[in-house]
């Protein structure tokens, strides 16, 4: 330790009478005591973190049945998740035309934070049978390896022949004015093979922190705007005559 730091006081301009009176030995002891006190403070900080973690775990459990119920209700609404993704500014930027087509088969999304929260989370995407891939579920998981570094892993997508959206040079013919088509073709589904930035995966965090807590707000966004614009169509009965645009 720094026994010699006590010597710092021996300067021309020490004007701290109180401190001058303390000998070097006392100063050295003071530093050691500060270190002990600091250890106590650190201990309290760790305890605080543990208690906070317990609160978060408790509420994760309390929220579970509500998320479960919510998933059951969402299953009754066709195209809930693709609509939600398309309505979310950041996510929609990642969707190619055929991605949207594929995502119509997405029936359910689940975000699961690991029990100790710090070590990661997983996002599961459940799909109905579809022309694009065999899998019933695609998952991406984020966790921390033994060294404490963030890592991620995903389900391997079993694409059907000729349907690998991550290998299309361009997706379906461009519609006029759809900027997305002119950009470098990148499918939403490449996210499942990209593990370069596990510690700060933008899409993962948007889904976990922004969409999953309340997807309904995004599902309803465009619909609310549409309703405002065509107010005369609001609320008829069960008849289907009312169609958008």
**Site residues (CB under 8 A) for a copy of itself, limited to 83-142:** 101, 104-105, 107, 128, 130
Number of residues located near a copy of itself, criterion CB under 8 A: 82
Binding segment toward a copy of itself, per CB under 8 A, in 59-67, 112-120, 157-165, 170-178: 59-67
Query: At its nearest, how many Å lie between a copy of itself and the CB of residue 239?
Result: 9
Query: In angstroms, what is the minimal distance from the CB of 193 to a copy of itself?
Result: 26
DSSP 159: B
Quote the CA–CA distance of 97 and 173 in Å, as a whole number: 9
Smallest gap from residue 111 Cβ to a copy of itself (A): 13
Nearer to a copy of itself, 156 or 205 (CB): 205
Q: Which is nearer to a copy of itself, 14 or 145 (CB)?
A: 14
Residues 99 and 165: beta-carbon distance below 8 Å = yes
**Interacting positions 36-55 with a copy of itself (CB under 8 A):** 36-42, 44-45, 47-48, 51-52, 55
For a copy of itself, the binding residue among 1, 161, 200, 229 (CB under 8 A) is 1
**225 lies in the site for a copy of itself, by CB under 8 A:** no
Long-range contacts of 105-112 (CB under 8 A, 24+ apart): 105/129, 105/130, 105/132, 106/81, 106/82, 107/75, 107/81, 108/71, 108/74, 108/75, 108/81, 109/81, 109/207, 109/212, 109/215, 110/67, 110/71, 111/207, 111/208, 111/212
73 φ/ψ angles, rounded to the nearest 5 degrees: -70, -40
Q: What is the CA radius of gyration of the chain?
A: 28
Strand order in the sheet with 120-127: 106-113, 120-127, 137-144, 150-154
Q: How far apart are CA 231 and CA 51, in angstroms?
A: 51
- The answer to whether the beta carbons of residues 201 and 152 sit under 8 Å apart is yes
Site string for a copy of itself, 2-41 (x = CB under 8 A): xxxxxxxxxxxxxxx-xxx-x---xxx-xxxxxxxxxxxx
Please report how close the Cβ of residue 214 comes to a copy of itself at its closest, in angstroms: 6
Residue 32: CB minimum distance to a copy of itself, A? 5
Q: Measured from the CB of residue 43, what is the shortest distance to a copy of itself in angstroms?
A: 10
Residues 191-220 that bind a copy of itself (CB under 8 A): 213-214, 216, 219-220
- Nearer of residues 199 and 213 to a copy of itself, judged by Cβ: 213
């Amino acid at each position: 330790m720094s026994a010699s730091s006590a010597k710092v006081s021996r300067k021309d301009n020490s004007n701290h009478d109180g401190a001058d009176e303390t000998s070097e030995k006392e100063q050295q002891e003071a530093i050691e005591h500060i270190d002990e006190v600091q250890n106590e403070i650190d201990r309290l900080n760790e305890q605080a973190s543990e208690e906070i973690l317990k609160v978060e775990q408790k509420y994760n459990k309390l929220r579970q049945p509500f998320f479960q119920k919510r998933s059951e209700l969402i299953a009754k609404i066709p195209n809930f998740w693709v609509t939600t993704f398309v309505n979310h500014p950041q996510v929609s930027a990642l969707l190619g035309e055929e991605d949207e087509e594929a995502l119509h088969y997405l029936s359910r999304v689940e975000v699961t934070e690991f029990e100790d929260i710090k070590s990661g989370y997983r996002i599961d995407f459940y799909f109905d049978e579809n022309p694009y891939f065999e899998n019933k579920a695609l998952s991406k998981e984020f966790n921390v390896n033994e060294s404490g570094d963030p890592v991620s892993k995903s389900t391997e997508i079993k694409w059907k022949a000729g349907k690998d959206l991550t290998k299309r040079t361009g997706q379906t013919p461009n519609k006029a004015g759809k900027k997305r088509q002119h950009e470098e073709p990148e499918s939403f589904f490449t996210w499942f093979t990209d593990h370069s930035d596990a510690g700060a995966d933008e899409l993962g965090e948007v889904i976990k922190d922004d969409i999953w807590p309340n997807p309904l707000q995004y599902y309803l966004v465009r619909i609310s705007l549409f309703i405002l614009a065509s107010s005369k169509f609001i609320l008829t009965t069960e008849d289907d005559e009312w169609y958008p645009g």
